[in-house]
């Protein structure tokens, strides 16, 4: 199952919200080494700074940055999910209704 990892790359005073994808077992969060590998795959060389808060820091001395994982999206509806019925209604008006033969 794919997990979308939402994270922030903090370099000097600039915060860049980014995302990555990790394969996980259904119902499981990514492990720390999965996250490190995901960052490595997108050319971010990091080490773990705080495992509980999912904080990472750069291993490159001339390019210091930190990464904060903000959220794991497993594609599940959460309690704060609200279906946008108005948007659905608007979209339905653009879909042509089938005509009988």
pLDDT at 83 exceeding the cut of 80: no
Contacts 24+ apart (CB under 8 A), 17-21: 17/70
Q: Find out whether 70 and 7 touch, Cβ atoms under 8 Å.
A: yes
pTM over 0.95: no
CA distance 25 to 75: 13
Sheet strands side by side (includes 46-50): 14-23, 2-11, 66-73, 55-58, 46-50
- Tokens 């999965």 belong to 34
Going from N- to C-terminal start, the domains of the chain cover 2-75
6-10, 76-80, 85-89: least confident range: 76-80
Q: Find out whether 72 and 29 touch, Cβ atoms under 8 Å.
A: yes
pLDDT in tens, 1-55: 899 999 999 998 899 999 999 999 988 899 999 999 999 999 999 999 999 999 9
């Amino acid at each position: 199952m794919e997990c979308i990892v939402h994270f922030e790359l903090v370099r000097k005073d600039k915060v860049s919200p980014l995302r990555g994808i990790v394969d996980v077992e259904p119902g499981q969060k990514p492990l720390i080494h999965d996250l490190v590998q995901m960052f490595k795959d997108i050319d971010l060389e990091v080490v773990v700074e705080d495992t509980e808060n999912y904080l990472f820091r750069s291993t490159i001395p001339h390019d210091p940055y930190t990464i904060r994982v903000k959220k794991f999206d497993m594609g599940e509806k959460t309690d704060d999910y609200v279906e946008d019925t108005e948007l659905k209604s608007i979209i339905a008006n653009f879909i042509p209704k089938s005509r009988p033969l």
